[in-house]
């Protein structure tokens, strides 16, 4: 474990209100030695899939022992479960609504055992939790108690990790000689990150005859860096920092240029 506990926060709370700071205040009242990293508080409101993607790209770059306190929770106060997980030497605390889907898949892919609990022990919550701010009343104190050395199993009832709510990232498939995928994420710059992961991205970029079609546009230009892309407003392919194949526009937004949204179908030809 870290000498001083590290808590990484990710929420859709934005920066205008005091919600992230309130959560930090709750944590420090229980675990005064805690350190914080704000992964982001700008997940689009209620956008669970974007939160899941950001966590997927980030968690492995934090040291063992990090506690990820994540709140993108449109179902707050409903029957959805508050949970905490442990896997790959990290903890994840937040709602059971699919927010941890991609990270959990990552952890399972490296054959790490996973433990999970429902956060149903009121002794580790704030008194009289509200129905609208579980980030303050349940998730922050639970993360703080983990940071203070409380065992995961003390926070609530054990939960089978295979029973968690999962949202599946789009999986590439073959259709009539075409490799078919989807836009899995659109980042702040408007880069379109596809569901073609590192292995497929490498194959596509290394095959000169391959081309990607999205809507009515076919893209064959490619580059290793943003600066090496075409100088005109022409979409091109490159490998994103996550390893996935991405569509970019040099000094511009591929999303705006192409007018597409997350989930848009992409097709790659020329790989056979």
Residue 244: per-residue pLDDT: 96
pTM of the predicted structure, to 2 decimals: 0.93
Q: How far apart are the first and last CA of the chain?
A: 48
Is the CB of residue 190 less than 8 Å from the CB of residue 249? Answer: yes
Residue 1: per-residue pLDDT: 53
Half-sphere exposure of 259 (CA within 13 A, CB side): 3
Is the CB of residue 250 less than 8 Å from the CB of residue 231? Answer: yes
Residue 232: per-residue pLDDT: 87
Helix (H, G, I), strand (E, B) or coil at 119: coil
| Cα 22-64-243 angle, rounded to 5 deg | 95
Residue 272: per-residue pLDDT: 73
- The third-level CATH classification (topology) of the domain covering 173-269 is Elongation Factor Tu (Ef-tu); domain 3 (2.40.30)
d(C-alpha 72, C-alpha 76), whole Å: 9
Q: Can you give the residue ranges of every domain in the chain?
A: 6-163, 173-269
Task: Estimate to the nearest angstrom the gap between the alpha carbon of 219 and the chain centroid.
Answer: 27
Is the CB of residue 178 less than 8 Å from the CB of residue 267? Answer: yes
- CATH architecture of the domain 6-163 equals 3-Layer(aba) Sandwich (3.40)
Residue 174, judged by CB atoms within 10 A of its CB (0-12, 13-18, 19+), counts as: exposed
Intrachain domains 6-163 and 173-269 with the same fold: no
d(C-alpha 52, C-alpha 92), whole Å: 12
Residue 2: per-residue pLDDT: 66
One digit per residue, the tens of pLDDT, for the chain of length 272 reads 568 999 999 999 999 999 999 999 999 999 999 999 999 999 999 999 999 999 999 999 999 999 999 999 999 999 999 999 999 999 999 999 999 999 999 999 888 899 999 999 999 999 999 999 999 999 999 999 999 999 999 999 999 999 999 998 778 999 999 999 999 999 999 999 999 999 999 999 999 999 999 999 999 999 999 999 998 899 999 999 999 999 999 999 999 999 999 999 999 999 97
Residue 107: per-residue pLDDT: 93
């Amino acid at each position: 474990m870290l000498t001083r506990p590290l808590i990484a926060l990710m929420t859709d709370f934005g920066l205008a209100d005091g919600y992230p700071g309130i959560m930090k205040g709750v944590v420090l009242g229980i675990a005064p030695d805690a350190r914080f990293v704000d992964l982001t508080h700008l997940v689009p409101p209620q956008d669970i899939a974007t939160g899941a993607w950001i966590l997927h790209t980030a968690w492995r770059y934090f040291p063992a022992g990090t506690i990820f306190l994540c709140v993108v929770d449109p179902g707050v106060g409903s029957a959805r479960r508050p949970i905490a997980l442990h896997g790959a030497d990290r903890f994840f605390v937040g709602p059971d609504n699919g927010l941890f889907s991609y990270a959990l898949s990552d952890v399972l892919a490296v054959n790490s055992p996973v433990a999970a609990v429902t956060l149903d022990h009121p002794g580790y919550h704030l008194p009289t939790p509200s129905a609208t701010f579980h980030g303050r009343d349940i998730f922050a104190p639970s993360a703080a108690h983990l940071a203070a050395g409380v065992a995961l199993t003390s926070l609530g009832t054990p939960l089978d990790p295979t029973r968690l709510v999962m949202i599946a990232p789009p999986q590439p498939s073959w259709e009539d000689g075409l490799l078919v995928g989807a836009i899995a994420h659109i980042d702040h710059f408007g880069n379109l990150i596809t569901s073609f992961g590192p292995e497929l991205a490498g194959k596509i970029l290394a095959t000169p005859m391959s081309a990607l079609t999205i809507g009515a546009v076919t893209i064959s230009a490619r580059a290793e860096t943003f600066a090496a892309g075409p100088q005109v407003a022409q979409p091109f392919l490159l490998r994103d920092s996550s390893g996935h194949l991405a569509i970019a526009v040099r000094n511009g937004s591929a999303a705006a240029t192409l007018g597409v949204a997350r989930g848009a179908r992409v097709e790659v030809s020329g790989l056979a």
